[in-house]
């Protein structure tokens, strides 16, 4: 049997072939490494450099300067003041003999308290805030390594305007020593637009050090900001309001002298822009906690609160009657001081002299005759008055964009029983000063409903702008005829009726209101909520002004005087 021959398998790769393959693999690896290095060095250079440097940064969070809340001309409403903070890198201060003592002396604090604050800390810490320029200069003059003075602000100054509109931030002032995080909006526009005003997060104060903790020359203290992303989210933005700082200042100066509790609204009747809105008592925005137990409600924005409107509601009933055809412009009504309407006794303020006698519609409004308006309201019908008042903006929030706005209340449905007093603003009817200003704007502009607007736009640090509030405009809710007839009646009320105290210039149209409160003063006299609502000039109105004075013994007459003083200042520029 033949023996098989052994076979040998020989590699097809020669030494030269293996060398070529190895060279190709090494070249591919070098290309891959080069591409990776190029990508890291060119594409990822900036973020990696930031990360590398950040690893050597000792940081302390800073509450960023919030965006500003500005009037329509770009002027700040908060009267913010510059202030300064002091940040300390404990390792550098503790390493230098006497440094803590010098710093404590400059800050006016106890050295042992400062040493206890710094003891055991490695990262920088804020040790003082709210310093004035002179105090900050004294700290800087020490030339202490590891100590930085950082520019900051006091959010609210003594000249801050429209405080109930602007609102406040939690904490009120800059961060306390050692605190982390930024103040947040607590009320008003500060709360509504907190996300834009605050940005996404705090800036940081960083001290760049080497591995031994020694500050790196050329870097030292730096203020770092969050970058990237949308300018509307990452950086604090300014909010531009519709308020006019000059008008607001006039309103507040008059109120501080004449209105202990109440509200004033000034509105542009064509656009709905709120030019001024003030509430009293006032408060300090940096000391909100001090007012929480007060019984007079200084934190309450009375511009948005419901009150019985009294006779400032009579033009609502008059407009409803004319618009629905329930009465004719030439009709006359008889007032003998009292009358029974829908089963209720109606008493007119002219009862003691036998009533107003026979009056037409203009006279009924000018003389504020309750008997005539109870009969006008009966013509319209209780449900009809409800429907018309709702179309004029009563019984629902205006949507001005502030927290806590009340809806007010409408007359009861007829099925729940008669309410003839609703036609002259008593009974269940309540309205906010802002709602009243909206209705009088409708009369002043010829019949168009305007939505009150308080915020116009946001402005990012990049200069980008975004419209925030509703644009001017609105649908017609009254005919030109009705608006003109009501305007003529309001002019007569100021010229020869209950609103003569408001006639500081010619062409004022308006109406007083005196709403019962059921309360009495210390002298036993009855107290009323006094109103005056009106506009000027009667043709082509520039201003609608609504004044509410709480708990006054003279009712609408006092509100008319406040209106007159405000208007005289606005017209005369004084």
C-alpha–C-alpha distance, residues 535 and 12, integer Å:
105
How far are the Cα atoms of 250, 438, 478, 543 from residue 571, in angstroms, in the given order? 11, 21, 28, 10
Residue 381: is the preceding peptide bond cis (ω within 30°)?
no
Q: Is residue 45 classed exposed, middle or buried when 0-12, 13-18 and 19+ CB atoms within 10 A define those classes?
A: exposed
C-alpha–C-alpha distance, residues 59 and 46, integer Å:
20
> For the chain, how big is the Rg over CA atoms in Å?
36
**pLDDT reported for residue 243:** 98
What pTM did the predictor assign? 0.81
Mean pLDDT per block of 10 residues along the chain (574 residues) reads: 50 66 73 66 53 49 74 96 82 67 86 81 77 85 81 87 96 40 84 86 60 59 54 75 98 98 98 97 94 95 98 98 96 95 92 94 95 96 97 96 96 93 95 98 97 94 83 85 98 95 97 93 92 98 98 94 98 75
Check whether domain 245-283+300-459+466-572 has CATH 3.40.710.10, yes or no? yes
**pLDDT reported for residue 88:** 83
Of 355, 384, 502, give the one whose Cα is nearest residue 440.
Answer: 502
Residue 281: is the preceding peptide bond cis (ω within 30°)?
yes
**pLDDT reported for residue 59:** 53
Angle at 449 between CA 549 and CA 394, to 5 degrees: 50
Residue indicated by tokens 């736009």: 457
Domain layout of the chain by residue ranges: 58-240, 245-283+300-459+466-572
Residues 6+ apart with CB under 8 A from 305: 263, 406, 432
CATH of domain 58-240: 3.90.1310.10
Phi/psi region, residue 25 (left: phi>0; alpha: psi -120 to 50; beta: rest), is alpha
**pLDDT reported for residue 280:** 98
Of 367, 376, 265, 275, give the one whose Cα is nearest residue 318.
Answer: 376
Angle at 89 between CA 85 and CA 91, to 5 degrees: 155
Give the other-Cβ count within 10 Å of 562's Cβ: 26
């Amino acid at each position: 049997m033949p023996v098989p021959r052994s076979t040998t398998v020989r590699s097809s790769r020669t030494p030269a072939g293996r060398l070529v393959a190895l060279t190709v693999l090494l070249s591919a690896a070098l290309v891959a490494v080069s591409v990776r290095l190029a990508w890291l060095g060119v594409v990822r250079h900036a973020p990696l450099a930031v990360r590398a440097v950040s690893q050597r940064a000792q940081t302390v969070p800073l509450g960023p300067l919030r965006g500003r809340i500005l009037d329509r001309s770009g002027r700040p409403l908060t009267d913010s003041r510059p202030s300064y903070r002091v940040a300390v890198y404990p390792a550098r201060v503790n390493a230098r003999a006497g440094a803590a003592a010098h710093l404590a002396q400059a800050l006016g604090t106890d050295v042992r308290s400062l040493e206890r604050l710094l003891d055991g800390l490695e990262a920088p810490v804020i040790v003082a805030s709210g310093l004035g320029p002179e105090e900050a200069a004294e700290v800087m003059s020490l030339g202490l390594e590891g100590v930085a003075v950082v520019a900051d602000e006091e959010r609210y100054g003594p000249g801050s305007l429209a405080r109930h509109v602007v609102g406040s931030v939690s904490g009120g002032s800059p961060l306390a020593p050692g605190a982390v995080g930024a103040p947040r909006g607590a009320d008003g526009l500060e709360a509504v637009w907190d996300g834009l005003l605050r940005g996404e997060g705090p800036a940081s104060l960083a001290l760049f050090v080497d591995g031994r903790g020694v500050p790196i020359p050329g870097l030292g203290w730096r203020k770092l900001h969050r970058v990237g992303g949308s300018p509307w989210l990452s950086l604090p933005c300014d909010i531009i309001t519709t308020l006019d700082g000059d008008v607001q200042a006039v309103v507040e100066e008059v109120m501080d002298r004449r209105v202990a509790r109440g509200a004033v609204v000034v509105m542009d009747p064509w656009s709905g822009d709120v030019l001024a809105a003030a509430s009293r008592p006032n408060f300090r925005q940096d000391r909100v906690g001090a007012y929480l137990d007060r019984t007079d409600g200084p934190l309450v924005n009375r511009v948005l609160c419901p009150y019985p409107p009294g006779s400032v509601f009579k033009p609502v009933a008059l407009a409803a009657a004319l618009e629905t055809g329930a009465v004719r412009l030439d009709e006359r009504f008889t007032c003998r001081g009292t009358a029974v309407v829908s089963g209720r006794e109606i008493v007119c303020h002219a009862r003691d002299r036998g009533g107003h006698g026979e009056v037409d519609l203009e006279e009924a409004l000018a003389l504020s005759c309750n008997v005539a308006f109870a009969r006008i309201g009966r013509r319209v019908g209780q449900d009809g008055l409800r429907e018309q008042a709702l179309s004029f903006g009563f019984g629902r929030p205006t949507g001005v964009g502030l927290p806590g706005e009340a809806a007010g209340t409408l007359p009861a449905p007829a099925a729940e029983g008669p309410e003839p007093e609703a036609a002259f603003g008593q009974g269940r009817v309540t309205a906010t000063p802002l709602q009243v200003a909206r209705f009088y704007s409708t009369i002043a502009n010829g019949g168009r409903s305007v939505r009150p607007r308080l915020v116009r736009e946001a402005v990012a640090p990049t200069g980008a702008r975004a419209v925030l509030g509703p644009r001017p405009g609105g649908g017609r809710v009254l005919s030109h005829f009705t608006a003109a007839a009501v305007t003529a009646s309001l002019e007569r009320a100021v010229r020869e009726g209950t609103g003569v105290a408001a006639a500081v210039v010619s062409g004022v149209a308006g109406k007083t209101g005196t709403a019962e409160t059921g309360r009495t003063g210390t002298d036993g006299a009855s107290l009323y909520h006094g109103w005056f609502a009106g506009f000027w000039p009667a043709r082509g109105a520039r201003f609608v002004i609504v004044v509410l004075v709480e708990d006054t013994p003279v009712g609408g007459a006092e509100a008319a005087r406040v209106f007159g003083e405000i208007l005289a200042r606005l017209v005369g520029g004084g």
